[in-house]
A = this chain, B = another copy of it.
Amino acid sequence: MRRMSRKAILCALAVFVVLYFMFYHNSTCLHGSTVMVPKDQKFMYDHSRRAIPYYREMPLIFIGGMPRSGTTLMRAMMDAHPEVRCGEETRVIPRILGMRSNWERSELEKKRLEEAGITSEVIDSALAAFMLEIIALHGEAAPYLCNKDPFTLKSSVYLKKVFPNAKFIFMIRDGRGTVHSIISRKVTITGFNLNDYRQCLSKWSTAMEMMYSQCLQVGAANCMPVYYEQLVLQPELWMRRITKFLDIPWNESVLHHEDFIDKPGGVSVSKTEKSSDQIIKPVNLEALTKWVGNIPDDVVKDMVNIAPMLRTLGYDPEANPPNYGSPNSKVADNTLHIQQNVAFWKQREEELLKKNPADLGQPNDPVVKPGAQRVVVAHHQP
């Protein structure tokens, strides 16, 4: 009897040991195994030296549209999200995309590359590797990586091919506002004559037509058009739609990007980008109708024919300005706030260009009569 039980105990021990090691073995092996870590995956490291993987199949976010259409505001609001990092314009990604389309255009070159074994698959894999390194390494590591180079959205279809899980935010703005901003801020864009509203507006229309068709081709599930005017009038409404579209958890920070300028994990700002002086301010309506009265009459009269995309996108080409809609009270207050603290914002801008985040304080709360001087215009949904 005692013998039996002793035997039983020892057997039980043996069985337990076997089972334990079987499970221990599985659990630990899975961690290190290549099954869990795809072989073509690389890693970036955050401040706490945590390794975050990056790879072609990750859910990349591409923000683009015409320059001066709120692309920088959009990326700043996304950058404020603790789990998202866009960063500054990389400049090199649009160029390498351009390089590729040149090879694509020339039949002779295509044949030569094919003969050399450089099939489009090989080129795609090389371009993807290049773009991934740039996107992942030019800023802080983050679970959601995002890129903002306005014109990349001319290549949405191609980007979707090389990054199968990429999503696109297509910024749309009234071409008159965009062109006035380009001209008044002297933003050099190849092909745009900064002394000619008519030429710029028609160029805007052509570029938008192309990006819009690319957005339609990748489909509503992958490309979301965002109207700049709607974003600044109703930031929370739109940021909730955008984060939902991107499958990113909601976070209030996206509504206060100005609090995260050049802070770790926040909005890294370039001294050489034209829009930097604007994104240090909270979302406001200052820029909305600045163009009104600045476009030559002959151009204004001929607007329908010069920029057909205005109507296509839902902007009334004959209204100067059209009804963009009404802001929520917070945005109206921000606008008033900024108007009442011109000196503060000027100073803050100078501090930013010195890049000394410590100096970037908050203004003394101004006396704001809620709703006072609020822009009130009938609501308009493009």
Contacts and interface: CB of A to CB of B under 8 A. Distances in A.
Interface of A: 3, 6-7, 10-11, 13-14, 17-18, 21-22, 24-25, 28-29, 32-35, 37, 39-43, 87-92, 95-96, 99, 103, 109, 111-113, 115-119, 121-123, 125-127, 129-134, 137-139, 268, 270-273
Contact of A25 (B28, B90, B111, B126): B28
Nearest to A30: B32
Give this chain's copy count.
Answer: 2
Contacts of A137: 117, 121-122, 125-126
Nearest to A25: B25
Nearest to A89: B116
B130 A127 contact: yes
A118 B95 contact: no
A88 B115 contact: yes
Nearest to A92: B118
Contact of A268 (B34, B109, B117): B117
Contacts of A14: 10, 13-14, 17
A277 to B, nearest CB: 14
Given A32-B29, A39-B42, A116 B129 contact: no
A91 B102 CA distance: 13
B130 A272 contact: no
Given A7-B10, A271-B115, A92 B123 contact: yes
Which of A116, A119, A129 lies at the interface centre, i.e. has the most chain B CB atoms within 10 A of its CB? A116
Contact of A115 (B115, B133, B272): B272
Given A271-B115, A272-B115, A95 B87 contact: no
A103 to B, nearest CB: 7
Nearest to A42: B40
A118 to B, nearest CB: 5
A141 to B, nearest CB: 12
A89 B114 CA distance: 11
Contacts of A271: 115
A134 B118 contact: yes
Nearest to A137: B122
Contacts of A103: 92
Given A129-B130, A137-B122, A112 B270 contact: yes
A138 B116 contact: yes
The 6 A-B pairs of least Cβ separation, nearest first, read A21-B21, A32-B33, A88-B116, A129-B129, A117-B138, A10-B10
Contacts of A42: 39-40
29 contacts: A3-B3, A14-B17, A17-B17, A21-B25, A25-B25, A29-B32, A29-B33, A32-B32, A32-B33, A34-B34, A39-B42, A39-B43, A89-B116, A92-B103, A92-B126, A95-B99, A96-B99, A96-B130, A99-B99, A111-B272, A115-B270, A116-B270, A116-B273, A117-B138, A117-B268, A121-B137, A122-B137, A129-B130, A130-B130
